[in-house]
C-alpha cells in the first residue's frame, strides 16, 4: 500500500465551484465519509457573514507585528493572535506557502478566545537556523521536532494542531508520536505520514504528472531554479495556479507570500525535502529512530477532523477511505466543494469551523 497521498488525476476533478459559508458543520459535510452523529455545535462568531473564496483584490488583511523566539535549532518567526492565556491553536503552512495562508483563519479563531500561533516553517520567512553548521534538513520528522521545540519555548503544554500540505504532515506526526501534546487535530488531505520505501512505488502516469516539481527538484536544474529568485518566483506561482484552479487570488496576495521564499535556507530545505521523500537524499542518523516509527504508519488517537478539498489535484479518491483506519479516536471527515489545495486561505471559514469542532469532540 502506498503510504503517501493517493492522488486523483490532475484533470477531470469535478466542476463544482460552489462557495461554502461558515454556517456550521452541516454545510461542510457535502460528502462526509464518517461523522460522529452528535448535534452540531454552534458556528464560530460572525459565521453568517463569512464566505469562502474571499475576494483578495483591494484591501488585504494583515497580521500584527511578527514575533521571534529561540526554539530548538531555530529562531522562529511567528504571528500570534488572541488572548495570551486562551487555549492554544498552532496553524502550520505548506509548500509553496507561508503564514499568510492563515491570515483570515487566525482572526476567526482569536475571536473565539483561542491563542493562535502561526509559525514560519524552517527555511521560510523570518525563521532562521541558529547555527551555520546545522544541516538544512527537510525530512519529515524534523518539522515535527521544530513544533515541539516551539511549544516548549512558548510554554504551551497542549495545543490543537491544524495544517495543510507540509503542515498536515507535521501535525499528523506530532499527533501520532506525541499525542500528549496534541489536544485535537485538523488535517487537510488526511494522513500524510511518509513511508519512504512504499513511496518508491510508481503511480499512474496521469497522477504522477501532478508531482512534476518533485521530480524537477531531483535534478540539478531544479535545484538551480529554486536558488534563482526569478525562476523560483515563476515556478511557485505556477504551482499556485494549477493546484488551486478556482481560487481568484490577485498578484499582491501571491507576492506577499513569495517574500517568505527569500529566506537564505529556502532552496536547501525545499530541495532536501523532496529528494529525501524519493530516497535521493539521506536524512540525519540522529532521526533514524523517529523515521522507523513513522514507517510503521502509527495510528492517530487524538480527536481529528480531516478535510478533503474537492479541486485539489492531490486529494485522495474515495472520500477519505484510503486513510480512515489511521484515525482511531473521535473522527469526522469533510469534503469542501469547489476548493483547491490552499484550504485555509481559500476556505477560511470552513477551516476555522473545523478547528472549533475538533476541539469540542
The pLDDT tens digits of the residues spanning 201-227 come to 998 898 899 999 999 999 999 999 999
Burial class (CB in 10 A: 0-12, 13-18, 19+), 48: exposed
Instruction: Name the pLDDT band for 199 (thresholds 50, 70, 90).
Output: confident
Q: How many CB atoms lie within 10 A of CB 260?
A: 22
Instruction: Name the pLDDT band for 317 (thresholds 50, 70, 90).
Output: confident
- Asked whether the beta carbons of 129 and 73 are under 8 A apart, the reply is yes
Q: Which DSSP symbol is given to 206?
A: H
The predicted pLDDT at position 194 comes to 95
What nine digits make up the cell of 360? 469540542
What nine digits make up the cell of 86? 486562551
Q: What b/e string do you get for 84-110 counting C-beta neighbours within 10 Å, with b at 16 or more?
A: eeebbbbbbbbbbbbbbbbbbbbbbbb
The predicted pLDDT at position 44 comes to 58
The predicted pLDDT at position 57 comes to 44
Mean pLDDT score of the chain: 88
Task: Give Cβ neighbours of residue 221 (< 8 Å, ≥ 6 apart).
Answer: none
Q: Residue 39: is its pLDDT beyond 60?
A: no
The predicted pLDDT at position 53 comes to 57
The predicted pLDDT at position 54 comes to 53
> Average pLDDT, stretch 217-238?
98
CA 84 to chain centroid, in Å, comes to 24
Instruction: Name the pLDDT band for 334 (thresholds 50, 70, 90).
Output: very high
User: Any bridge partners for residue 163, and if so which?
Assistant: 92, 187
CA 85 to chain centroid, in Å, comes to 25
Q: Given the DSSP bridges, would you call strands 128-129 and 74-81 parallel, antiparallel or unpaired?
A: antiparallel
- Asked whether the beta carbons of 154 and 84 are under 8 A apart, the reply is no
- Measured over all CA atoms, what is the biggest interatomic distance in the chain, rounded to whole angstroms? 54
**pLDDT one-digit tens code per residue, 1-34:** 323 333 333 323 333 333 333 333 333 333 344 4
**pLDDT one-digit tens code per residue, 277-287:** 999 999 999 99
> Average pLDDT, stretch 274-301?
97
The predicted pLDDT at position 97 comes to 98
What nine digits make up the cell of 246? 478556482
What nine digits make up the cell of 67? 514575533
Q: Residue 166: is its pLDDT beyond 50?
A: yes
Length of the chain: 361
What are the helix (H) ranges across 155-208?
A: 166-177, 205-208
- Asked whether the beta carbons of 349 and 52 are under 8 A apart, the reply is yes
What nine digits make up the cell of 308? 478533503
The predicted pLDDT at position 121 comes to 98
Q: Which residue has the cell 523517529?
A: 290
Rg over CA atoms, the chain: 19
Burial class (CB in 10 A: 0-12, 13-18, 19+), 57: exposed
Q: Residue 313: is its pLDDT beyond 70?
A: yes
Distance CA 125, CA 178 (A): 27
What nine digits make up the cell of 138? 527537510
The predicted pLDDT at position 14 comes to 31
> Average pLDDT, stretch 325-334?
98
Cis bond leading into 96, ω under 30°? yes
The predicted pLDDT at position 11 comes to 28
Give 240 or 36, the one with higher predicted confidence: 240
**pLDDT one-digit tens code per residue, 56-107:** 445 688 999 999 999 999 999 999 999 999 999 999 999 999 999 999 999 9
Amino acid at each position: 500500500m502506498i503510504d503517501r497521498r493517493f492522488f486523483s488525476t490532475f484533470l477531470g476533478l469535478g466542476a463544482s465551484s460552489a462557495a461554502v459559508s461558515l454556517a456550521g458543520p452541516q454545510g461542510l459535510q457535502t460528502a462526509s465519509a464518517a461523522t460522529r452523529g452528535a448535534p452540531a455545535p454552534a458556528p464560530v462568531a460572525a459565521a453568517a457573514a463569512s464566505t469562502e473564496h474571499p475576494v483578495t483584490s483591494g484591501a488585504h488583511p494583515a497580521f500584527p507585528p511578527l514575533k521571534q523566539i529561540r526554539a530548538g535549532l531555530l529562531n522562529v518567526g511567528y504571528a500570534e493572535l488572541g488572548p495570551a492565556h486562551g487555549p492554544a491553536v498552532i496553524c502550520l503552512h505548506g509548500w509553496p506557502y507561508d503564514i499568510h495562508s492563515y491570515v483570515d483563519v487566525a482572526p476567526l479563531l482569536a475571536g473565539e478566545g483561542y491563542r493562535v500561533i502561526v509559525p514560519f516553517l524552517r527555511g521560510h520567512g523570518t525563521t532562521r537556523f541558529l547555527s551555520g553548521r546545522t544541516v538544512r534538513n527537510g525530512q519529515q520528522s524534523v518539522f515535527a521536532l521544530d513544533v515541539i521545540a516551539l511549544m516548549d519555548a512558548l510554554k504551551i503544554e497542549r495545543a490543537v494542531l491544524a495544517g495543510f500540505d507540509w503542515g498536515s504532515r507535521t501535525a499528523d506526526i506530532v499527533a501520532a508520536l506525541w499525542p500528549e501534546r496534541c489536544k485535537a487535530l485538523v488535517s487537510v488531505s488526511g494522513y500524510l505520514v511518509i513511508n519512504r520505501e512504499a513511496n518508491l512505488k510508481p503511480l499512474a502516469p496521469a497522477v504522477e504528472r501532478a508531482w512534476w516539481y518533485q521530480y524537477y527538484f531531483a535534478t540539478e536544474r531544479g535545484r538551480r531554479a529554486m536558488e534563482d529568485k526569478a525562476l523560483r518566483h515563476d515556478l511557485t506561482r505556477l504551482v499556485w495556479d494549477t493546484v488551486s484552479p478556482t481560487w481568484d487570488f490577485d498578484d499582491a496576495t501571491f507576492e506577499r507570500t513569495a517574500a517568505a521564499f527569500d529566506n537564505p535556507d529556502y532552496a536547501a530545505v525545499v530541495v532536501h525535502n523532496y529528494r529525501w521523500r524519493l530516497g535521493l537524499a539521506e536524512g540525519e542518523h540522529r532521526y533514524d529512530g523517529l523515521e522507523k516509527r513513522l514507517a510503521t504508519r502509527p495510528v492517530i488517537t487524538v480527536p481529528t477532523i480531516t478535510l478533503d478539498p474537492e479541486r485539489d489535484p492531490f486529494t485522495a479518491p474515495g472520500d477519505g477511505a484510503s486513510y480512515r483506519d489511521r484515525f482511531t479516536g473521535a473522527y469526522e471527515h469533510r469534503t469542501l466543494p469547489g476548493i483547491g489545495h490552499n484550504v485555509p486561505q481559500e476556505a477560511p471559514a470552513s477551516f476555522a469551523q473545523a478547528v472549533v469542532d475538533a476541539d469540542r469532540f
